[in-house]
Structure 1
Amino acid sequence: MLHSHLRYISIIVLIFQCAVLKAQNHDIRVVGKVVEANSNQPIAYATISILSNSEMKPITGGITKDDGSFSITTKASDFYIEISFMGYTTKSFPSFEIKNQMIDLKTVVLEENQEALDEVFIRAEKSQTEFKLDKRVFNVGRDLSTTGASVFEVLNNVPSVNVNIEGEVSLRGNQGVQILIDGKPSVIAGNDGNALGTITADMIEKIEVITNPSAKYDAQGTSGIINIVIKKSDKRGLNGSATLNMGVPNSNSFGLSLNRRTEKFNFFSQMGIGLRTFPNETESINRNLSNDTIISSSGESAFDEKFNNILIGADYYINSRNVVTLSGSYAFETEDQGVTSFFTQETQNDMGVWRRNETTEATNPKLRYELQYKKDFKRHKDQTLLFSALGSSFRKDQSSEFQNTTLAGNSNDLRQRSRTDYKLEEFTFKLDYTHPFLEKYAFETGAQYVINIVGNDFEVSDFENGDWVSIPEFTNLFDFTQKVFGLYATTAYEGDVWGLKIGLRMEQTDIDTLLETTNEENDQDYVNLFPSAHTSYNLTDNFSLQLGYSRRINRPGLRSLNPFSSIRNNFSISTGNPKLQPEFTNSYEFTGIQKLDKASFSFSIYHRYTRDVIERITRFEDNVSLSQPENIGTNSTTGFEMNGKYSPSNWLTINGDFNINFFIRKGVFENTSFDFKGDRWSSRLTSKFKLPADFETEITGNYRSRFITLQQEIVENVFMDFGLRKKIFKGKTILNLSIRDVFASRINKSITSQPEFYLLNSRQRGRFVSFGISYGFGKGEAMEFSGRR
């Protein structure tokens, strides 16, 4: 009997073992979806772990897709499941139901773990600044890249860089900085919109700050370069923001920015629509000292602009070492401007008063497009080949009508109109190659070709005897073509303590200008060499000295070359000069940079010598001032600049900039000596406070001293800006209040005092108040979007 029972038990055990073995030979599939508790949005790249119950060790695992879903197979039979994502509470599944060899966990909801987040940020890698030969490199650490911050917040952590609460970037107090993406101009970094805001901190590898560019960069003068280097193949999901702005005067706009990254593609887009109004108050005095005739005017204007724009683009990652970028943007603007000015003419025997009304309409279509290819090499992480082609076109069709109405004295009734048909096309082709060798050496070479094509059909007419009669001296067709071809090569040694970089750039410039109606030509063709040299010495890990030299060129822009002018004020006319030559500058700069625990500080002593300086010369004929740029002599400038950033606590940051220079001008124009000496200085102080309840405030004070030019005195300027920001819904939404020129004290005023005449010109735009709300979705916080087009 016992043997019979044992036999049955043995049979049962054998059957059970066979069943277990059979089960072990079949895969079990674990499926489900992971979402965030607050927003119910899917969590991409969350970790799914299959762990052994007996050994508490991982058996297999995987990550979620962009939509939060996952599917993992295992042959194990004794296991439990864990689902985790950084900053969220881990969920464990020790028991589950297996149906048809599948475990369906359905929707798994993860909640934020604030304590874990704080611990990660404290222990995470900190962002740090490195001193390189001709630049400073800010490496973005996890303290920023894991917070969902925007590119503007990252820039605010870079020494010498400041971003105000409206998203305007400045370098050492100067907003003329050029922003590059991966070492090249980009549609994303253009001034036409705020697509730069689609870049978040987790996408950025490093930010390079260059205050005295080497021969690698365009020799055309800039106040500095900020180069944003994007990570190569970091996986991420969807980032975006929708923003609504309202303001007084009109500053109303809506913007939508999107960025989506997959393993092979990075798609980015932006669209915006809006209406902005720019008020203006002007005042002018023309005084003829020979006969004591005075013509004064005061006026108000309102410039209304409606705009809409769209930008789309994509990066395609062919593989880990090759990426192609294609992008384009289109914008269309309509302009309406009304100006009312009152003129008074006083002579010894008479006085006349009249009103001049102006109505102006214009349409401006804009198009930009870009193609880029970048290749990285296996032999060295810094060996790269980059080709980019950037094109743009702009048109302005504008018409204006003017009406003079006599109010007192002699009749000054007059009707005039002007017409402008303006076209601009620009193409930039760029090729750069970097080749590191022998560990601490690097060689760079490349070429650039830039083409500018401009056509400006301009006409001014008077209404006489019932017909419009063209005025010949104000009517013509101006054609401008500029082609600049550049080649460069640099070589560098960079050791742990000391380094040296030298380079040479050659640029061949071909400029053709033509006034078709009068057949006036001016062709220029010249070749120039632009050497550069930079050296640095790291005294300690936190203190570095840099010495740099470069030769720069400032080619006159279209505003300086275009011979046409506005006839808004017939007694104050400003035109361009098609015969203008470029300026050449030798720039020397010695800089010390100190990093402290809670502060960074830098100072610079610089000297710049410029020849063929471009200055405006004013002539006075028949009570009319005529201003035109001319090349006059040399300018020798020596200056001192310092700037610092201090964060005594996590709620307060102070940025300060100070610049003073002394200059010596020498030159002769039309047998008149213009030798003189002068000085000018400027300062800016910005305080940023983080207040309770996620409020942030920013106060900026600016001062620009009085200074003199060849003929003018530029009056001092002092003004203040204010900003307040509030984050709600855990940073997903930002409320923004901005007041520019709080006390309406920013007045641009110039005085020209000569033996034969006295001129005063003043312009003020006044106070701007705007309020915006931005909602961010995806992984990041809401992104700043200032409403600028």
Structure 2
Amino acid sequence: MHHFTLSAALTLLLVLLHGTCVRAQTTVTGRVVDASGGQPIEFATVMVADAATGTSRGGTTTDPTGNFSVTAPQGDFYVEVSFIGFQTARIDDIEVAGGEASLGVVELVSQGQTLDEVTVRAEKSQTVFKLDKRVFNVGQDLSSTGASALEVLSNVPSVTVTMEGAVQLRGSGGVQILVDGKPSVIASEQGNLLGTLTADMIESVEVITNPSAKYDAEGTSGIINIVLKKEEKKGLNGAVSVNTGVPDNHSVGLSLNRRTEKFNLFSQLGVGYRSLPEDITTVNRDLSDNTSLYSTGEEFRNETFYNVVLGTDYHINERNVLTLSGNFAYEVEDQPSFTEFRLEDAAGETASRWNREETTEATNPKYQFEFQYKRDFEDHKDHDLLFSAIGTLFSKDQASEFVNTTLSGDDRSGRQRTRTDFGEQTNTFKLDYTRPFTEKLTVETGTQYVTDDVQNDYSVSNYLNEVFVEDPSLTNVFNWRQNVMAAYATAGYDLGDWGVKVGLRLENTDLETVLETTDETNTQNYTNLFPSAHTSYQLTEAISFQGGYSRRVFRPRMWDLNPFFNLRNNFTIRTGNPNLQPEYTDSYELTSIYILEQASLNFGVYHRYTTDVVERVTTFQDNVSISKPINVGTNRATGVEFNAKYEPFEFVTLTGDVNYNYFKREGELEDVSFDFSADQLNGRVSGKFDLPLDIDFEVTGNYQSAYQTVQSEVSSFVFMDLGLRKRLFEGRGAINFSVRDLFASRIEERVLEQPTFYQYSRELRGTFVTLGFSYGFGKGETMEYLGQRRRF
């Protein structure tokens, strides 16, 4: 059935592209800048109006570089360009040649109404649909007050975040996370995911489900690009915030920016403390002898953090810009946990009971340095050359001690210690060149080289005869080295109503893992081609269609490959697999966009075919379960997605996001079949209300259906978030209040049933309440310097 749906949708697209009568259109282009400094103005409104009646014949907003392109039926018209805080510009007597009209540079003159500028970013639409991506603007998401970057992602359409902190796109893993279009230490899985990134720093989140060949091929489900705020208004601008919450979520943040003719200096400073409690229950049952092990415990992730971002843009002249920036973060962790174990015999009687208490301390310094050079050429606004070099360093020095205390039955008392010395260095060198040969044809090409070098020194010691003795079977130094060399080229052809873009990327991967103690080595070297193709067609001003194809790869990461593990619960163990192979995905999608007077709708169908799928497979012995990632067969997933925004009244905005996918798994491992078919549904509904007295209120309901993995059934859950904002000082200040998971109903239960064993787990994070105050000065805007969530 799903094959028919995909082919029918593609056929429909081809019919629309080739069989529709094209109406006479005029394409109007230009660039909007601030007259006082020449800086581009993003999200300025451009309206094409009938010269005789003044009625609108088309409109758009400017992109981050101030550029715009809008089509309108041919005839006499004028253009109005407006933005809050600036005088509206009207352009008459427009010359049209060959169906095109270029307005050049449109300068807007400031009205001096800087207080109005403060609120405009916070009032942007939540989601904007573009040719190859969707842009989620964080400013209107009130429930993100006090939230982490992960919780910001959990509010983004098509994105879900599991209880373990894993990010999924359309219900699937293998997501590549970028920051400002580039890999970043603050989005590294080797620490806590997005460990130093807080919600106040995020301008928007771009969801790219079918990336072009210009992007890394990494990420079988697609790319999530987090765009950070960087103010460029002239003069001194800034914002300060203070937050407190329950459980502990206390922080102070400062954002500063200084813009002159030649320099743009920017910074983010923050310090805080937060804790993340979690209740965990597990049951391990050995069906061969009917013994059962029950564990119930509470874990904490307590963290004091310090974060500094410093950078500068140096405008050599109007055509050349140098950027230097650095990010330093330092985290001090305290991770206490307490777990009670109970072992039952086949008759259901308690054979033994004991407690396991953990004390863990760790320090995590992170560094990132970036150099970037951009050259704009005079012949065309989009003709540019961009070179960047990024170096990141991340290390972890962690020590843990575990103490078992027998309560009854067999003696389980004992002590263990673990030590982790982790270090990673990543270097990324990238060169991109964009050349429009005509107004219709644009070519992009570039290269990239990424080196990644990791060492993880891990040891386990047992307390024997009054001293700690290292356990050689659980101790090793794991080295991981990966170099990826890439080159790409794309070509885009734009005919106004219709456009097409094709590309090809070549990547060579050189990978080596070494277990030093056992002298085990795994070396891989492979070269792949990753084609991409995208097309779009605007049927009317209100209806557009888009289609896309790309091939992607998921390369196993360090924690997927490292066979050594944490001993927090030594009866439920997660470990890596040094022999893991990459998985590959062919992705197809077709989407349609409808813009109505009070509503915008987006409907899409997609299909993904993945080979060498990486799945965690659990084995069981003596009530100990060991989960390890393994390549298991193929996966075919076909889904539909629906996004909508509706404004029934001026003070009410409703948004909805629904994603359903049906998937078929095929695979076999050691004569065990993993064939099955299943489906999954995720949904989110949000209402934002503009109330009197400058108060905004937002309520969001989330639903995730139950779904099946190769071995487990994962439960469904529903939860609700609330947000409230009171604006002060004519928009410069705000009091923010948020409640996440209002009814503490986000409970994830997982059941694993096999012929020889049964396993059950339950995880609960609970309700989080945060109160904050923020104030912007200069031309800055209000912000919330917020806490964040730990992944591990």
Instruction: Compute the TM-score of the two structures, normalised by the length of structure 2.
Output: 0.79
Cα–Cα, structure 1 residues 458 and 182, in superposed 2: closer, same or farther, change >3 Å?
closer
Q: Does 1:312 align with 2:313?
A: no
**1:212 partner SS:** coil
Segment drifting more, 745-754 vs 179-188: 179-188
Q: Which residue of 2 aligns with 1:536?
A: 536
What is the rounded CA distance, in whole Å, between the counterparts of 2:457 and 2:81 in structure 1?
Answer: 49
* Superposed displacement of residue 780, structure 1: 3.4
| Match for residue 322 of structure 2 among 307, 321, 324 | 324
Cα–Cα, structure 1 residues 756 and 199, in superposed 2: closer, same or farther, change >3 Å?
closer
Q: Does 1:490 align with 2:490?
A: yes
The amino acid that maps onto 2:692 is: P
* Superposed displacement of residue 498, structure 1: 1.4
The amino acid that maps onto 2:212 is: S
Q: Which residue of 1 aligns with 2:505?
A: 505
Cα–Cα, structure 1 residues 538 and 297, in superposed 2: closer, same or farther, change >3 Å?
same
Q: Which residue of 2 aligns with 1:276?
A: 274
Q: Is the 8 A contact 1:150 1:780 kept in 2?
A: no
The 5 Å alignment of 1:767-786 reads: 767-786=767-786
| Match for residue 259 of structure 2 among 255, 258, 261 | 261
What is the rounded CA distance, in whole Å, between the counterparts of 2:641 and 2:492 in structure 1?
Answer: 27
Q: Is the 8 A contact 1:195 1:269 kept in 2?
A: no
The 5 Å alignment of 1:343-492 reads: 343-348=341-346, 351-492=351-492
Q: Is the 8 A contact 2:274 2:787 kept in 1?
A: no
Q: Which residue of 2 aligns with 1:563?
A: 563
The amino acid that maps onto 2:367 is: L
Q: Which residue of 2 aligns with 1:142?
A: 83
Residue-by-residue CA offset, 1:57-85 (whole Å, 9 max, x unaligned): xxxxxx89xxxxxxxxxxxxxxxxxxxxx
Q: Which residue of 2 aligns with 1:128?
A: 61
**2:693 partner SS:** helix
Residue-by-residue CA offset, 1:538-565 (whole Å, 9 max, x unaligned): 1012211111100000111222112111
Cα–Cα, structure 1 residues 185 and 320, in superposed 2: closer, same or farther, change >3 Å?
farther
Q: Which residue of 1 aligns with 2:755?
A: 755
* Superposed displacement of residue 245, structure 1: 0.6
Q: Is the 8 A contact 2:550 2:586 kept in 1?
A: yes
What is the rounded CA distance, in whole Å, between the counterparts of 1:182 and 1:140 in structure 2?
Answer: 28
Q: Is the 8 A contact 1:174 1:223 kept in 2?
A: no
What is the rounded CA distance, in whole Å, between the counterparts of 2:786 and 2:769 in structure 1?
Answer: 12
The amino acid that maps onto 1:147 is: E
Residue-by-residue CA offset, 1:108-145 (whole Å, 9 max, x unaligned): xxxxxxxxxxxxxx99x975389xxxx999x9961598
Q: Which residue of 1 aligns with 2:608?
A: 608
Segment drifting more, 692-701 vs 143-152: 143-152
What is the rounded CA distance, in whole Å, between the counterparts of 1:773 and 1:178 in structure 2?
Answer: 33
Residue-by-residue CA offset, 1:227-277 (whole Å, 9 max, x unaligned): 86999x975222211110101110001000011211111110011111001
Cα–Cα, structure 1 residues 225 and 377, in superposed 2: closer, same or farther, change >3 Å?
farther
Cα–Cα, structure 1 residues 140 and 696, in superposed 2: closer, same or farther, change >3 Å?
farther
Q: Which residue of 1 aligns with 2:76?
A: none
Q: Does 1:241 align with 2:239?
A: yes
Q: Is the 8 A contact 1:181 1:230 kept in 2?
A: no
What is the rounded CA distance, in whole Å, between the counterparts of 2:732 and 2:589 in structure 1?
Answer: 43
Percentage of identical aligned residues: 51
Cα–Cα, structure 1 residues 411 and 178, in superposed 2: closer, same or farther, change >3 Å?
closer
* Superposed displacement of residue 162, structure 1: 5.3
Q: Is the 8 A contact 2:688 2:698 kept in 1?
A: yes
Moved over 6 A (4+): 177-182, 186-190
Residue-by-residue CA offset, 1:176-196 (whole Å, 9 max, x unaligned): 587867754579999454588
What is the rounded CA distance, in whole Å, between the counterparts of 1:322 and 1:691 in structure 2?
Answer: 46
What is the rounded CA distance, in whole Å, between the counterparts of 2:226 and 2:251 in structure 1?
Answer: 29
Q: Which residue of 1 aligns with 2:159?
A: 174
What is the rounded CA distance, in whole Å, between the counterparts of 2:470 and 2:413 in structure 1?
Answer: 18
Residue-by-residue CA offset, 1:421-474 (whole Å, 9 max, x unaligned): 111111111111000012200111001111111110011111111121222221
* Superposed displacement of residue 526, structure 1: 0.3
* Superposed displacement of residue 385, structure 1: 0.5
Q: Which residue of 2 aligns with 1:730?
A: 730
What is the rounded CA distance, in whole Å, between the counterparts of 1:575 and 1:697 in structure 2?
Answer: 44
Instruction: Compute the TM-score of the two structures, normalised by the length of structure 1.
Output: 0.79
Q: Which residue of 1 aligns with 2:578?
A: 578
Q: Is the 8 A contact 2:737 2:770 kept in 1?
A: yes
The amino acid that maps onto 2:343 is: Q
What is the rounded CA distance, in whole Å, between the counterparts of 1:710 and 1:136 in structure 2?
Answer: 48
Q: Which residue of 2 aligns with 1:28?
A: none
Q: Is the 8 A contact 2:185 2:393 kept in 1?
A: no
Residue-by-residue CA offset, 1:75-115 (whole Å, 9 max, x unaligned): xxxxxxxxxxxxxxxxxxxxxxxxxxxxxxxxxxxxxxxxx
What is the rounded CA distance, in whole Å, between the counterparts of 2:249 and 2:69 in structure 1?
Answer: 36
Q: Does 1:717 align with 2:717?
A: yes
Q: Is the 8 A contact 2:249 2:787 kept in 1?
A: yes
* Superposed displacement of residue 585, structure 1: 0.1
Q: Is the 8 A contact 1:736 1:771 kept in 2?
A: yes
Q: Is the 8 A contact 1:340 1:355 kept in 2?
A: yes
The 5 Å alignment of 1:693-704 reads: 693-704=693-704
Q: Which residue of 2 aligns with 1:338?
A: 336
Cα–Cα, structure 1 residues 199 and 322, in superposed 2: closer, same or farther, change >3 Å?
farther
Cα–Cα, structure 1 residues 187 and 610, in superposed 2: closer, same or farther, change >3 Å?
closer
Q: Is the 8 A contact 1:611 1:634 kept in 2?
A: yes
* Superposed displacement of residue 304, structure 1: 1.1
The RMSD of aligned alpha carbons is: 3.1
Q: Does 1:663 align with 2:670?
A: no
What is the rounded CA distance, in whole Å, between the counterparts of 2:207 and 2:85 in structure 1?
Answer: 18
For the pair shown, the structure with the greater C-alpha radius of gyration is: 1
Residue-by-residue CA offset, 1:686-722 (whole Å, 9 max, x unaligned): 1111111111111111111111111111111211111
Q: Is the 8 A contact 1:434 1:445 kept in 2?
A: yes
Q: Is the 8 A contact 1:601 1:643 kept in 2?
A: yes
Gaps of 5+ in 2: 1-32, 38-54, 71-79, 87-115, 146-151, 161-166, 168-174, 189-193
The amino acid that maps onto 1:142 is: F
Cα–Cα, structure 1 residues 490 and 284, in superposed 2: closer, same or farther, change >3 Å?
same
Q: Is the 8 A contact 2:198 2:788 kept in 1?
A: no
Q: Which residue of 2 aligns with 1:287?
A: 285
What is the rounded CA distance, in whole Å, between the counterparts of 1:210 and 1:196 in structure 2?
Answer: 20
The amino acid that maps onto 1:605 is: V
Q: Is the 8 A contact 1:149 1:780 kept in 2?
A: no
What is the rounded CA distance, in whole Å, between the counterparts of 1:253 and 1:576 in structure 2?
Answer: 35
Between the two proteins, the alignment pairs up a number of residues equal to 664
* Superposed displacement of residue 647, structure 1: 2.1
Q: Is the 8 A contact 2:117 2:779 kept in 1?
A: no
**1:147 partner SS:** helix
* Superposed displacement of residue 210, structure 1: 3.8
What is the rounded CA distance, in whole Å, between the counterparts of 2:395 and 2:612 in structure 1?
Answer: 32
Gaps of 5+ in 1: 1-44, 48-62, 65-121
Q: Does 1:549 align with 2:549?
A: yes
What is the rounded CA distance, in whole Å, between the counterparts of 2:385 and 2:272 in structure 1?
Answer: 40
Segment drifting more, 744-753 vs 604-613: 744-753
Q: Is the 8 A contact 1:150 1:783 kept in 2?
A: no
Q: Is the 8 A contact 2:236 2:778 kept in 1?
A: yes
Cα–Cα, structure 1 residues 339 and 735, in superposed 2: closer, same or farther, change >3 Å?
same
Q: Which residue of 2 aligns with 1:213?
A: 211
